C-alpha cells in the first residue's frame, strides 16, 4: 500500500478550499504504489487524485513533474492534468507534505499484458517522446549511471542477505556499466518508470499514462529498455518473451525509428535499466522497517533480468531485425 502520511478530514477540507472542485463527498487512501501517498477524492464535481509527495521526491523537482503533465496533456497525451488552485499555483501543502490534485484517468492497469498491449505501449511511448519535445524545464536523471554507485554503497554491505553472491555480481556489473555506458544517443524527456502499473487500459485500448515522478531528460532509448524489462518478460517463468518484445519495438519504431546507434546500445541500456531497478528495490528491501505497510518489490527479479541481458550481444537477441 502507499499511504505513508495520513490526513484528517478537517485538514483535507481546509486544503480543498484552495480549489474550485465542488464539495467533498468521500475520500480514501489508495493501496497501490510505493513512492507517494495517494488518495481518491470524490467531490460533487467528480473523482480526483490527491498526491502527497514523499521521501524520494525532491520538492524542487515538482514544477518539472507538474509542468510536464500540463505540457503533455496539451499535446494530446492522455495523462493526468494537475489542477490549478484559486491562487494560480499547482502545489499546496497538506499534513506537512507538498501536495497536488490531479485529474482522474479511467481504466485499469494490466497484471499480465500480452503482445497487443505491448504494441499499444510502444506507440504510446514514441508519442510521449515526441510530445516531450519543446518542454522548457530540464531535470537530470538522478538514477542514471552516476547515481548507481552511491545507491549501491548504501546496500552493498548487506546485499548477500538478499542472495548469496550478489555483492560480487553487482560490483562487477556496476564497474562494467560505468566503463561502457553509451553517450551521445538521442535524448529528450523520458518517463523513466513506465511499468504496467503506470499505464491504464480499457479492454485492449491504452487509455492513459500516470506517475511522472521519475521523468527527466535522458537517453530516449533508455525508456525503451525499461519497457522491455518491465513488459516483455513472462511473469511466471521469468523468461524474455520475444513476441512481446517484437510487438513493442515494432510499434515504437513505426512512430519513432531507433537510430543504428540506439539499436546497438539496446543490450547495454537494458542492463543499466535492470541495474537501476535492482538497486532501488534492494535498497528498499534492506531499509524498510519490519511491519511497514508497503508491498516490497523483489530485487531478484531484476537481477535475473540483468543476467539475461548479459547474454545478449546485439538487439537481434530481443527479436529486433532489419
Ligand X SMILES: N[C@@H](CCO)C(=O)O
Ligand Y SMILES: Nc1ncnc2c1ncn2[C@@H]1O[C@H](COP(=O)(O)OP(=O)(O)OP(=O)(O)O)[C@@H](O)[C@H]1O
Query: Which of 34, 52, 162, 192 lies at the binding interface for ligand Y (CB under 6 A)?
Result: 34
How many whole angstroms separate alpha carbon 91 and alpha carbon 74? 19
Closest CA to 113 of 299, 223, 247: 247
User: Which of 6, 14, 28, 32 is in the footprint of ligand Y by CB under 6 A?
Assistant: 32
Using the 8-state DSSP alphabet, how is residue 234 labeled?
-
Nearest to 251 by CA among 115, 78, 111: 115
* Three-class SS state of 58: coil
Tell me the closest approach of the beta carbon of residue 52 to ligand X, in angstroms. 16
Nearer to ligand X, 176 or 195 (CB): 195
Q: Which residue matches cell numbers 548487506?
A: 158
3-class SS at 201?
A: strand
Sign of CA dihedral 103, 105, 110, 116: negative
Size of the site for ligand Y (CB under 6 A): 19
Residues that bind ligand X (CB under 6 A): 34-35, 193, 195, 277, 280-281, 297
- If one asks whether residue 144 binds ligand Y (CB under 6 A), the answer comes out as no
* 198 lies in the site for ligand Y, by CB under 6 A: yes
Query: Shortest Cβ distance from residue 310 to ligand Y (Å)?
Result: 27
Considering CB distances under 5 to 8 angstroms, the limit depending on partner class, which of ligand X, ligand Y, none binds residue 277?
Answer: ligand X
Please tell me whether residue 49 binds ligand Y under the rule CB under 6 A. Answer: yes
Closer to ligand X by CB, 32 or 93: give it. Answer: 32
- Contact flags string 232-251 toward ligand Y, x per CB under 6 A: --------------------
C-beta of residue 45 within 8 angstroms of C-beta of residue 21: yes
* R_g over Cα of the chain: 20
Per-state percent for the chain, helix, strand, coil, to nearest 5: 45, 15, 40
Residue 90 interacts with, from ligand X, ligand Y, none (CB under 5-8 Å by kind): none
Q: Which residues bind ligand Y (CB under 6 A)?
A: 2, 30, 32-36, 38, 49, 80, 102, 104-105, 193, 197-198, 210-211, 213
Amino acid at each position: 500500500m502507499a499511504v505513508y502520511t495520513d490526513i484528517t478530514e478537517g485538514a483535507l477540507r481546509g486544503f480543498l478550499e484552495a480549489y474550485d472542485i465542488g464539495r467533498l463527498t468521500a475520500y480514501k487512501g489508495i493501496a497501490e504504489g510505493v513512492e507517494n501517498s495517494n488518495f481518491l477524492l470524490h467531490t460533487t464535481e467528480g473523482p480526483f487524485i490527491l498526491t502527497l509527495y514523499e521521501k524520494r521526491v525532491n520538492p524542487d523537482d515538482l514544477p518539472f513533474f507538474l509542468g510536464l503533465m500540463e505540457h503533455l496533456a496539451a499535446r494530446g497525451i492522455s495523462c493526468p492534468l494537475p489542477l490549478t488552485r484559486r491562487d494560480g499555483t499547482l502545489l499546496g501543502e497538506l499534513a506537512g507534505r507538498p501536495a497536488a490534485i490531479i485529474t482522474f484517468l479511467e481504466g485499469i492497469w494490466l497484471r499480465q499484458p500480452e503482445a497487443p498491449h505491448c504494441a499499444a505501449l510502444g506507440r504510446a511511448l514514441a508519442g510521449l517522446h515526441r510530445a516531450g519535445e519543446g518542454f522548457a524545464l530540464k531535470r537530470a536523471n538522478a538514477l542514471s549511471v552516476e547515481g548507481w554507485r552511491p545507491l549501491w554503497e548504501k546496500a552493498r554491505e548487506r546485499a548477500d542477505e538478499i542472495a548469496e553472491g550478489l555483492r560480487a555480481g553487482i560490483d562487477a556489473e556496476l564497474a562494467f556499466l560505468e566503463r561502457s555506458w553509451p553517450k551521445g544517443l538521442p535524448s529528450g524527456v523520458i518517463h523513466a518508470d513506465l511499468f504496467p502499473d503506470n499505464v491504464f487500459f480499457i479492454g485492449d485500448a491504452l487509455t492513459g499514462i500516470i506517475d511522472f515522478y521519475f521523468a527527466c531528460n535522458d537517453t530516449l532509448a533508455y525508456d525503451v529498455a525499461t519497457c522491455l524489462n518491465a513488459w516483455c518478460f513472462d511473469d511466471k517463468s521469468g523468461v524474455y518473451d520475444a513476441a512481446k518484445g517484437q510487438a513493442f519495438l515494432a510499434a515504437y519504431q513505426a512512430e519513432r525509428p531507433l537510430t543504428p546507434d540506439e539499436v546497438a546500445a539496446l543490450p547495454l541500456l537494458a542492463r543499466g535499466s535492470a541495474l537501476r531497478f535492482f538497486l532501488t528495490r534492494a535498497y528498499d528491501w534492506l531499509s524498510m522497517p519490519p511491519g511497514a505497510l508497503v508491498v516490497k518489490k523483489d530485487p531478484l527479479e531484476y537481477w535475473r533480468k540483468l543476467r539475461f541481458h548479459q547474454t545478449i550481444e546485439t538487439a537481434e537477441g530481443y527479436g529486433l531485425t532489419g
